[in-house]
Copies of this chain bind each other. A is one copy, B any other.
């Protein structure tokens, strides 16, 4: 079906993609004035909001002690705030500080998002669906080898 030459080229480009992705995330964190653990957590918070400190620990694999530190720092720079859960006073709900998030984070991503959007809009629906399926398969393989113990 395919030549091994193209498989090798693509493998190499996917490897480059890994590196580029990791460096991109470090750069974003640096621009936000936070470390990359905090950035990762902020990302998890944005996606799973609202959530508790313990849930964040589970989702990130950090200890609860480390999460306390992460929240202290993110709260200090104003990206999130803590709120005691009225239902269960032991629990601490993590809330995004929307104002600050929109003022600092969104502009940072918006030009990147715009560029990605432009890139993607060069493709028609059939092509996009093809790429979506490819990326999904890659994600499945990555996850399989991340979870495997």
Contact = CB atoms under 8 A, between A and B. Distances in A.
A125 B2 CA distance: 5
Interface residues of A, number: 55
A131 interface: yes
SS class, residues of chain A in contact with chain B: helix
Interface string A108-149: 000111011101111111011111101111110111111000
Contacts of A124: 1-2
Interface of A: 1-3, 6-7, 9-11, 13-14, 16-25, 27-28, 40, 43, 111-113, 115-117, 119-125, 127-132, 134-139, 141-146
Given A18-B25, A23-B146, 17 more contacts: A1-B122, A2-B124, A3-B125, A6-B128, A7-B117, A10-B120, A10-B132, A11-B120, A16-B135, A20-B138, A20-B146, A21-B22, A22-B25, A24-B145, A112-B141, A130-B130, A131-B131
